[in-house]
Amino acid sequence: MKKTLLFFCVVLLLTNYNGYAQRKCGIVQVKNALIAKDANWQNKIEAQRSSLQSMADNYLQQKASGAAKTTAASPIPVIFHIVVTADQLTQMGGYTGVQTRCDSQIAVLNCDFNRENSDSTIIPSGWKPLYASVGIRFGLAHTQPNGWSTPGYEVIIISNSDNGFMPGSDGYYSDVKHTAKGGIDAWDVTKYLNVWCFNFADGGNLGLTLAKSMASGATANEEGISLTWLALGKQTIAGDLKFPSGGKFIRGRTLTHEMGHFFEIWHTWGDDFGKCAWNGGVDDGIADTPPEADHKYGIPTDTIPGGTIYDDCILNGTAPMQPIGVASLDFMNYTDDVAMAMFTTQQAAAMAAHVAPSGESYSLTQNPGLLNWPANAGVAPVGMDNGLNIFPNPSDGIFNITFNDITDELKNINVVDVVGQQVQSIIPVHAQKDYSIDLSGMSKGIYFVRCNFASGSITRKILLQ
Ligand SMILES: [Zn+2]
């Protein structure tokens, strides 16, 4: 049966985050791009989808017999590559906002993937038995591939005249994943889960994922998740950080949804333009997500006692197929952040199979050391006080900072005013000894430069005159 399609015409002002009227993800865009390159991808993707259920069943059998671990060995190190304009960085709340967003985003992922989300109270009784833990945990990377420290994110500022990144000839914004093309290269994809945050210059997508099975050969270093810059993190206090469309995507679920694609599960409705599986449509390959015609937007009003809502796939012949409704509250639907709260048992099992010892993402769970700040080597950083110079001081605008030693423990350099308000922050570049602070245009007076290291900090007073 063919469902009535609703066509939404959303006029997007390209730099206007209010343009996101509802969720849209680029997984179909990726799929189409792969098929355009090589027609065999059609069969590969269909084979992958039809193998999902047996993959989940096998995992659950192994788990029941004790042969499979119920949780990953260690959290997966996540690195956020943030490629934004100076104006966009300001809208994100500056470096402090970026840190807050990254911290809250990791917390959201850990709750959502481990059945710990406090808003699970919205799950109706009919769905409660399916509310599942994937058992995968995540953490901010604190050691870079070369052994240097990292806060778990890196920020590259692009020109304000740039409006982010277009899909490009490959169709999935790969330029942002290459330093040589104005983005940031991936970190070792066998050890880190790479997330790029930037503006999708063609508008519309909140996120887009290139899963491991989709990336190989020349594109191997492009695997990972692309996220629109303003969907990063969770709003913890009303209005504390800006998010698309104000309230729709404020709980960090865009990355939860994309992470589902990273672990190779699909949208619950199968992306088949409104069809049912028994009538020419495609299912999501997962048995415990009921047949579903098309995506659900917004915050659906549940109409089934103990369940959610029906849609056009309610009947196959005369057999009711949706006794508890469709999976509108599933993380792999298109509802608003506040309306989604769970993965199902078999979605969880299909994803967990990827981090089991024979799974494609197993290696990501085997590097707990990357979650730690690097151990101090040689002299403790705070002991390097004498090796740090700031000049000229006083200055009428530019202050130069030079570290006389390799500052591999340096996490950031923050400048605060006399009332403790942060006015500038610098993320160190590994092996770089020289930095400058530009306070031109700031009020004259005393400021403090705080150099934060893994084991302590050094604060110096400077005078702007
Ligand atoms: Zn999606």
Residue 261's pLDDT is 98
Residue ranges and CATH numbers for the domains of the chain are 17-368 (3.40.390.10), 381-464 (2.60.40.3080)
Other Cβ atoms closer than 10 A to 38? 9
Report the alpha-carbon distance of residue 356 to residue 362 in Å, rounded: 6
pLDDT score of 384: 42
CA distances from 88 to 184, 251, 315 (A): 17, 20, 48
Cα separation, 342 vs 345, in Å, equals 9
Burial class (CB in 10 A: 0-12, 13-18, 19+), 225: buried
- Residue 381's pLDDT is what? 41
User: Helices marked H in 132-183 — which ranges?
Assistant: none
3 state DSSP class of 427: coil
d(CA 227, ligand 1 centre) in Å: 11
> 242 C-alpha to center of ligand 1: Å?
22
Dist. CA 342–CA 331, nearest whole Å: 6
Q: Which residue has the tokens 């997330």?
A: 195
pLDDT attached to residue 339: 96
> Given this model, what pLDDT does residue 425 score?
85
Gap from CA of 82 to ligand 1 centroid (Å):
21
The predicted pLDDT at position 457 comes to: 65
Q: Measure 264 CA to ligand 1 centroid, in angstroms.
A: 10
pLDDT at res. 245: 63
Pairing of strands 207-210, 138-140: unpaired
The alpha carbon of 438 and the centre of ligand 1 are apart by a number of angstroms equal to: 42
Number of Cβ atoms within 10 Å of the Cβ of 297: 19
What pLDDT does 377 receive? 37
For residue 387, what pLDDT is reported? 60
**C-alpha 272 to ligand 1 mean position (Å):** 13
pLDDT attached to residue 21? 78
What is the model's pLDDT at position 6? 38
Tell how far the Cα of 271 is from the centroid of ligand 1, in angstroms: 9
Q: Ligand 1: distance of its center to the CA of 459 in Å?
A: 46
Amino acid at 252: G
Q: How far apart are the first and last CA of the chain?
A: 74
Cα 23 to averaged position of ligand 1 atoms, centre (Å): 9
**Residues 20, 28: Cα–Cα separation, whole Å:** 18
Measure 327 CA to ligand 1 centroid, in angstroms. Answer: 14
- Between the CA of 394 and the centroid of ligand 1 the distance, in Å, is 53
Distance 258 CA to ligand 1 centre (A): 6
Average pLDDT for runs of 10 along the chain of length 465 = 37 43 91 94 96 96 78 86 92 89 97 98 98 97 87 90 89 93 95 97 92 89 95 85 76 97 98 93 95 96 95 93 97 96 98 95 96 62 54 84 68 78 80 83 85 68 84
How remote is the CA of residue 34 from the centroid of ligand 1, in Å? 16
